[in-house]
Amino acid sequence: MRQAVINKFPFVVIYEIEGRNIVVYAVFNTYQNPEKWKSKL
Count: domains in the chain: 1
Question: pLDDT at residue 17 above 90?
Answer: yes
Owning domain of residue 25 = 2-40
State residue 36's pLDDT score: 62
Question: pLDDT at residue 41 above 70?
Answer: no
Mean per-residue pLDDT, 7-27: 87
Q: Is the pTM of this model over 0.85?
A: no
- In angstroms, the CA 20 to CA 7 distance is 25
Contact 16, 2 (CB under 8 A): yes
- In angstroms, the CA 9 to CA 1 distance is 21
- Taking the CA atoms of the chain, what radius of gyration do you get in angstroms? 11
Eight-class DSSP state of 30: T
Question: pLDDT at residue 19 above 90?
Answer: yes
